[in-house]
Structure 1
Amino acid sequence: MTRRGRGEGSIYLRKDGRWEGAAYLPTASGKLRRVRVYGKTRKETGDKLTLQIADARRGIPIPEQSWSVRAYLDYFIQEVAPKTLRPATISGYSNVIEHHLKPMLGSRPLTRLTVTGLQQVFDNEIAGGMTIPTAMQAKLVLSAALTRAMREDLIVRNVARLVVLPHHDPKEVEPWSADEAARFLVAAQSEELYPLFLILTLYGMRKGEALGLQWSDIDWDRDAFRIRQQRQVIRGKMHVGPVKTAKGKRRLPLLTFVRQALNKYQAVVDDRSSRANPSRFVFVADNGEPLSQSQLYRVFSDICKRAGVRRIRIHDLRHTAATLLKNYHVPDRDIQLILGHSRISTTQEIYQHGDSEAQHEALSRLEDRLLLAVDDSGGSRQTQPSKLALAAVSAPFQQRSAVTFQIREDFFSTKISYLRRDPGATSILQRLRVATNTHVLGAVAVRNSRQPDQANLVLWEWIPLRETLTPLTTPFTNSPSPADLDF
């Protein structure tokens, strides 16, 4: 048996028949710590020990202590998370750790997590009934903890990032239509908290932002108010902190109806809130204390029932505001500023939803534009042009012996007219240049005669034929009847 060289550690056979290898390697603090590896054969154990020593020589220190997944998750949520995460996020992470990650992985050594082993754990959990969204959340929290462990040189790589989960299509949010939102606000007028629901619906504010609004945030002189903090109840305790993102701090105009509603509300709750609400939050409960989320949910549910509208989440009022603003052609950049999103992609991809009424209107416009209309007999009221008519439209004007168009009355708001070469039409035809090209896109357009030397013009430099031609004051002589036209 070949003896290992100096600095290569030692390997020996244990009483239980397994092989054990050991070596002293440096930790992140520079201290030496004995590392042990195990295997069924001497070669397997030697290979494992060689890899550990090679990592140390490449500058990858070994952990100061041997962590289990359970112990490191406790350290992460208690010591690391409070320095970087918001209280609501920490609360959500804690729930995932206690209910899912610890039962799944708690006793395993942190350094022995592998992609294959972790993938098998997640696959088994999903097969046993864990939902895909829950698995995605568990992977997210574990990945955050393992990323921290990498930075502390406890592990070499984050194996959670390499776990593949089944595809999941999140449930599509269906915000209210303008009619539903209006019915909701009408029903809310009888509530003391009417201004709160006005703000949530019109501005699309986050629930915590609206509850965190203070009277000092309202600038009555300039008809504006600022959003600078949010108020949340987490595990029974009230937390007041900064808004979710830097762009969340914003100043918004105070709309007339909102100002009037706030004035009336202030007169009602001023004395009540001054005694039990030293922070002067705008929205308070009956006892004068800051309004709780459970009280808000209860009032919201009652209003939805009275209004006869679909029950949605309070947060979906934010989606409703974004979608309605989009439908009213407000630029995405302005919607982003109103909602306080850090990235405009969030506004475009998440918070703006298709509206069935808007889609119906858009498709109806396209239908009318391309197909015009269909008569009662099932045929199109748009006259189908013959080959001769198509040739007349595409040919230069000097090659046309006759040009005849039939134009829908309701489309151009003109009476049906027929143009042909006739002494009465001479003044009209003279207004068209001989070498003029034509474009047909539902209507005929001609090039502006004031720009004769430009070969290529952009679309808006072409002018409709109906604007070029002057109305006829006298009827044509020998004008054909519609029956005589091969259209």
Structure 2
Amino acid sequence: MTTPRDVSPSRRVRANGDGTVYQRKDGRWEAAGYVLALGNTRKRVRAYGTTRKEALAKLTEKIAVSNRGVPVPSAQGSVSAYLTYWLENVAVHHLRENTHTRYTACVHQHLIPGLGKKKLAKLTAKDVRTWLNQLRTTCQCCARSIDARRHQPRCCAAGTCCSKQLSPLTLAYIHSVLKSALEHAVREEEIPRNVARNVRTGTPRPRRSEPLTAHEARQFLTAAGSDRLAALYELALRTGLRKGELLGLQWEDLDLHNGTASIRRTLQRTQTGGLTALPTKTRASERRIALPSECIHSFKGHREVQEGEREAAAEDWRDNGLVFSTPAGGPIDPANLNRHFRALLDRAGIRRIRFHDLRHSTATLLLEQGVELVVIKELLGHAHIGVTATVYAHVRLRLQRDAIDALSTALAGRAGHETARDDSAEPPPLTDVVR
């Protein structure tokens, strides 16, 4: 009869749920046990070590994590394989074509080269943070061999690094793409948690806009008055419509009698379809706006010009119903509008700005006139008022300064006329409370 002391260590009886520990033929120790898996199921896992104690410690750690309700991941492939699957089978059905194109470029230029070889199930927040820190300080010209593909290398390939690093906005965008992909992996129960969400990259400063001043805006409208697309520029500056919304506007969207315009679509160039009319950027972007009387007047003149172009083009006219079209009736390419806009700025003697800065100019001028932020949000078609408040924070600070200066002037005037009243011990009446 054997006693417990005579039993081999590899044969000792373990409690139910502690798993099995034994020595393999190759000399290593293996511990196996059941842990919580995705879908509220149980899965048998194994842990290995050079000693019995090491293998048992690894298994005990996995069981302890399982007892806290964290399931074991089921993904066995690499990050590269999952990102490719996500782009081709998931993102392509939920994103716009241009957005999907940008996501694809981001994945192939940054995510796969940096994290692609790691196992999806073993990716940690530390891996993501280390990769982002490295990406932040890496010259992209060297890393992506941009200069080596030029006919005449002038920086990295020539031995002089140009230190072309990614901007904080680009880093935040790359991080957001990774978070979106891993979030879907969590929903498909491939991994238990999104480790990219545990990494904080900081809030990057928004790109500084260069809106027109009131004087420059008047100068711009005067110069655009004789232009063929005068109605477009006036509508852009007075209502803040996006470039795609302007180019996708159709005559059926306008109600000149009641002075309104319905924004239903945007015109964009895609890789597969060319110039294509797409739904608005967000649901909030699909809106109806009030038209200024100046725009209604310019629309009537623009329609007469377009009718003359229709007669001149005769059979070559392409009837798309667009308000702003080429002389042949076709859609205007956004890139061509940018070139036309820059030429107009040069003729007007105004500094170079982006076309999108006309939209910023609209919001800035409205804020300076004391228009409520919620009204500007509805006019611009922002999904959330926080977007409006964040983008135009610099304007709100200037308005606060004007308000404080006005209050200081008022208080200084009252102090000079009511000195005797201020010296009294009686509290001021309620009507004198400054709000």
**Residues 274, 14 of structure 1: alpha-carbon distance in 2 compared, 3 angstrom cutoff:** farther
Structure 1 gaps of 5+ residues are 373-381, 397-436, 440-455, 462-487
Residue type of the alignment partner of 1:169: R
| Residues 31, 303 of structure 1: alpha-carbon distance in 2 compared, 3 angstrom cutoff | same
> Which protein is bigger by CA-based radius of gyration?
1
Q: Which residue of 2 aligns with 1:338?
A: 379
Q: 1:138 to 1:356 in 2, by over 3 A?
A: closer
Corresponding residue for 1:459? 432
SS in 2 for 1:238: strand
Q: Tell me, yes or no, if structure 1 residue 125 matches structure 2 residue 98.
A: no
Match of 1:220 in 2: 256
Structure 2: runs of 5+ lacking an equivalent: 1-8, 139-164
Could you tell me which residue of structure 2 aligns to residue 144 of structure 1? 180
- Once the two structures are TM-superposed, the CA of residue 30 in structure 1 deviates from its matched residue by 9.9
TM-score of the superposed pair, with normalisation by structure 1: 0.69
Provide, for residues 21-64 of structure 1, a one-character-per-residue CA deviation record: whole Å limited to 9, x for no partner.
66788976899988665556554444444555677788876666
Tell me the secondary structure at the aligned position of residue 174 of structure 2: helix
Are positions 1:85 and 2:85 aligned together?
Answer: no
User: Which SS does the other structure have where 1:176 is aligned?
Assistant: coil
Is the contact between residue 9 and residue 23 of structure 1 (CA under 8 Å) also seen in structure 2?
Answer: yes
Change in Cα spacing, 1:167 to 1:32, as seen in structure 2 (3 Å) is closer
Distance 1:343 1:83, change over 3 A: same
1:2 pairs with one of 2, 10, 17:
10
Q: Identity over the aligned pairs, expressed in percent?
A: 34
Q: Distance in 1 between matches of 2:372 and 2:380?
A: 13
Count, aligned residues:
392
Match of 1:347 in 2: 388
Identify, as 1 or 2, the structure richer in helix: 2
Taking CA–CA contacts closer than 8 Å with sequence separation of 6 or more, which of the two structures ends up with the larger relative contact order? 2
Deviation at 1:188, TM superposition (A): 1.6
Q: Does residue 78 of structure 2 align to residue 68 of structure 1?
A: yes
Match of 1:263 among 300, 303, 307: 300
* Amino acid paired to 1:261: S
Is 1:229 aligned to residue 265 of structure 2?
yes
CA contact (8 A) 1:210 1:230 kept: yes
Secondary structure, in 3 states, of the residue corresponding to 1:154? coil
Q: Secondary structure at the match of 1:247?
A: coil
Counterpart CA distance in 2 for 1:115 and 1:360 is 43
Distance change (3 Å), C-alpha of 1:183 and 1:130: same
Deviation at 1:309, TM superposition (A): 2.0
* Counterpart contact for 1:394–1:438, Cα < 8 Å: no
Of 297-306 and 359-368, more deviation after overlay is shown by 359-368
Q: Work out whether 1:240 is the aligned partner of 2:277.
A: yes
Q: Say whether 1:254 aligns with 2:285.
A: no
Q: Distance in 1 between matches of 2:334 and 2:236?
A: 14
Q: Distance in 2 between matches of 1:112 and 1:41?
A: 24
Q: Give the deviation of 1:273 after TM superposition.
A: 10
Equivalent position to 1:170, from 206, 212, 215: 206
Instruction: Check conservation: 1:14, 1:20, Cα contact below 8 A.
Output: no
Local SS of the residue matching 1:246: coil
2:352 aligned to 277, 296, 311, which one?
Answer: 311
Q: Is residue 240–residue 363 contact of structure 2 (8 Å, CA) maintained in 1?
A: yes
| Bigger mean CA deviation after superposition, 363-372 or 321-330 | 363-372
Q: Deviations over 1:390-424 (max 9, x none)?
A: 5576459xxxxxxxxxxxxxxxxxxxxxxxxxxxx
